[in-house]
Amino acid sequence: MNTFRHVLLCISVIPNLLIGLLTDEQKQSYQQNGYLVISDFFSNEACDTLRHRAAELVNDFDPSSTSSVFASSDKQIIDSYFLGSASNISFFFEKDVWSADGSLRLPKEYCINKIGHAQHDLDPIFSAFSRDPKLEELTHDLGINNPLLIQSMYIFKQPYIGGEVSCHQDSTFLLAEPDTIIGYWIALEDATIENGCLWAIPGRHKQGLKSMFISDGISHHEFVTLDPTPWDEENKVPLEVKKGSLIVLHGYVPHMSFANTSPKSRHAYTLHVMDASSHYSELNWLKRPQNFPFRGF
């Protein structure tokens, strides 16, 4: 290698070693807004591999084994199937997809809302995607020194069927003290206003947590209001992103998505991490048995 090329190579490598994956501007933007969009984080091939695996899981799933519905963040039907999904690969349907006789009105792959919440630990392909070294580096860049992967969701948002998810903060459902919850939202297809992209309210993560969802893991589940002030949803902004983009979400940033009224699906994968130094609340609905603890990268 000639000297000139060697110098160029060193210049291109050293900044990454010194400052990590995020620039100071990106870190400041995240702190200011409570979210950060990173384009081209995952390759098209990686996205397609995960999509293919999700399709296989749905294909192998027998819908008659459950009728659990995920209608929106605050309307989840809390049953034993949902609670068990903390430690399983479970399938949740959109509302209004069941006929009176208990069968699905459409092929099951169009009626599924999401798969959750432990495929990142139970399925090798989901685990490899979730434990991408780049994602680990990003997590450290965001100040999570000893990360644990808490939950995963594969969200389908199918054409004409994918429902609205109302404005919420992810930490409402994943309480930790101190709160180090970070959500990763990965576009497995282009996400646009038409097919129901994420919307977030910039800077509102600084106003604290508005509610807690607590559960004894059996029969008592409750939203506890901490701040009754409504969101200033008129200030929300759309986060339209290309396939392979990653959106970092602070646990307190309010976000939502509208129903998909378009002919295009909007598949996305979400993963939540926290620092092991935080205390994961016993009040969280998502409870792992002792023999299935949270793991890191």
Q: How far is the CB of 284 from Fe ion (least distance, A)?
A: 15
Q: How far is the CB of 257 from Fe ion (least distance, A)?
A: 9
Alpha carbon dihedral 72, 77, 80, 86, in 10-degree steps, equals 10
Q: How far is the CB of 51 from Fe ion (least distance, A)?
A: 20
Q: Identify each DSSP E strand in 50-201 by its residue range.
A: 89-93, 112-117, 147-155, 165-168, 176-177, 182-187, 198-200
Site residues for Fe ion, 199-228, by CB under 5 A, read: none
148: DSSP letter:
E
Distances from the Cα of 142 to the Cα of 30, 129, 261, angstroms: 9, 19, 35
Between 52 and 75, CB nearer to Fe ion: 75
Between 63 and 200, CB nearer to Fe ion: 200
Residue with tokens 């995607």: 129
In whole angstroms, give the CA distance from residue 44 to residue 244.
6
- Binding residues for Fe ion, rule CB under 5 A, total 1
Q: How far is the CB of 200 from Fe ion (least distance, A)?
A: 10
Binding mask 127-166 for Fe ion (x = CB under 5 A): ----------------------------------------
- Residue 170 touching Fe ion (CB under 5 A): yes
Contact 152/185 with Cβ under 8 angstroms?
no
Query: Stretches 42-50, 53-61, 145-153, 168-176: which one binds Fe ion (CB under 5 A)?
Result: 168-176
Q: How far is the CB of 250 from Fe ion (least distance, A)?
A: 11
In whole angstroms, give the CA distance from residue 172 to residue 111.
26
Positions that interact with Fe ion (CB under 5 A): 170
